[in-house]
Structure 1
């Protein structure tokens, strides 16, 4: 009977640890998307943008507008998502830049 009385305490400690880890991960995710003081983010240099955008736009049938907007977004955000489509969550600045109508600005 003595062993059963410590189960609620052990469960409470485990839940508290899970909660603490969850908070720490949430704070880490917030800091990962932080914008630097110049208003830019990402690890690309502006001279890397054409090559990154060339790959990003490689499968679209609208290459000229894709390249134009991708280069513009890359110059601002210093980041281009991986792959030829999607994965915009990798670059919050790239993902959150919207047109006047509210649609995505970056391809």
Structure 2
């Protein structure tokens, strides 16, 4: 159990885990999404691969969310 005087720092850590993971995934998805749209403009059969590659960075945000929940409920 965390000391009540340190509970705020645990909350800040949880917020940073989600926020920084979201920013990083957004920056990665930006380049991937632009390339996927360009590939689909040339050939429509790249839709599935482009969609898959766009979804992969979003899983990083889920990992950040899991870390934040662990911080909030375990400590």
Which bracket does the TM-score occupy, shorter chain normalised? 0.3 to 0.5
> Normalized against structure 2, the TM-score is what?
0.47
Larger radius of gyration: 1
Question: Where is the helix percentage greater, Structure 1 or Structure 2?
Answer: 2
Ranked by relative contact order (alpha carbons within 8 Å, sequence separation 6 or more), the top structure is: 2
**What's the TM-score once normalised by structure 1's chain length?**
0.35
